[in-house]
Amino acid sequence: TDRKKLHTAPVGQIFRLRPFHVLVATGGGYAGYRKYEDYKLEQLEKRGIEVPVKLASEWEVALYKSVPTRLLSRAWGRLNQVELPTWLRKPVYSLYIWTFGVNMKEAAVEDLHHYRNLSEFFRRKLKPQARPVCCVHSVISPSDGKILNFGQVKNCEVEQVKGVTYSLESFLGPRISTEEMHFSQAPPGNSFQQQLVTKEGNELYHCVIYLAPGDYHCFHSPTDWTVSHRRHFPGSLMSVNPGVARWIKELFCHNERVVLTGDWKHGFFSLTAVGATNVGSIRIYFDQDLHTNSPSYSKGSYNDFSFISNNNKEGIPMRKGEHLGEFNLGSTIVLIFEAPKDFKFNLKAGQKIRFGEALGSL
């Protein structure tokens, strides 16, 4: 009689499924299915077979977005910061190197025991001579990666991959005040694209670079320019690999991103770092106020920050090749800029490129 009573819950209550659990399980299973579909598409592309574009429906996008990728990315970020025992570092990093084809001979520090955690390993620096910066061409690649698409912007639409577009205005957000940019005011009747072009005879160009997990994770300034404004869009953290980019229209507009805008010698220039699954952390070295992948945010919201002040009338000057920021794993860089009509890209869609190599020139 002195024994404590054991309180048990009814069996039905124990196995009761809540809506959140159903969404996570269903969304996670569907995400896994999509990964398998992406793998099959990659195999077809390697064999030279053209894959027709098949866009996701609204319910498929909603189902994918039900996966708590922001929460998982924050958890992944904390896991990456856990210090590994010295004896465990080489096996863990060696597995990653083997899986993603990392070239450690380019790393400034090749000794794997030097990196205390996965985060330090992901953000490893390169030897100075590993990425020579092209001096001949006016625009260089800001990062290692794969060229998904490039060319002129037409009808206020930008291609994320061939045949799949997104809205230029949705991606960049409303035009920034001309007081913060050194541009003349465009007539109000013009399209958003035309308002970005500041000089007669110029065109608007774009280039999309996908960073795989095995790529160098830092990104640099692609040209000599001045950064005057930062716009941060909180959002989803869906995968941005080429298979998903081909499947979800306006994928880059759904995902969290940091848009840096300013001007170069030919007019408007912007660089956007797009977040992805396990890449909620986007860091801009000169912007200490930027905090990405916060636990909560308002859908469709964004926040602006101007680098032009009473003490700094010009903004942040960046030299071609200068360190600009970093991802925690790998993601996407989108360049949108103004240039004369004779600007030419020295690229092929799908090619691999490394930081410092030429993108294009006049």
Residues with Cβ within 8 Å of 58's Cβ and at least 6 positions away in sequence, in order, are none
Question: Does the annotation mark 287 as catalytic?
Answer: no
DSSP state of 103: -
Task: Residue 73: name the closest of 330, 333, 332 by CA.
Answer: 330
Task: Indicate which residue of 66, 236, 239, 331 is catalytic.
Answer: 331
Residues with Cβ within 8 Å of 83's Cβ and at least 6 positions away in sequence, in order, are 116, 117
Task: Indicate which residue of 144, 215, 263, 287 is catalytic.
Answer: 144
- What is the DSSP annotation of 20-54? HHHHHHHHHHHHHHHHHHHHHHHHHHHTTPPPPP-
Question: Does the annotation mark 289 as catalytic?
Answer: no
Question: Does the annotation mark 331 as catalytic?
Answer: yes
Structure tokens at 210: 């996908």
Phi, psi of 325 (to 5 degrees): -170, -170
Between CA 204 and CA 196 the distance in angstroms is 8
Structure tokens at 143: 């990062």
Between CA 75 and CA 279 the distance in angstroms is 11
Structure tokens at 266: 């030919």
| Bridge-based pairing state of the strands 257-264 and 225-233 | antiparallel
Task: Indicate which residue of 220, 229, 232, 266 is catalytic.
Answer: 220
- What is the DSSP annotation of 190-221? S-HHHHH--STTEEEEEEEEEPPTTS--EEE-
Between CA 294 and CA 59 the distance in angstroms is 26
Residue 353 CB neighbour total at 10 angstroms: 22
Catalytic residues: 144, 220, 331
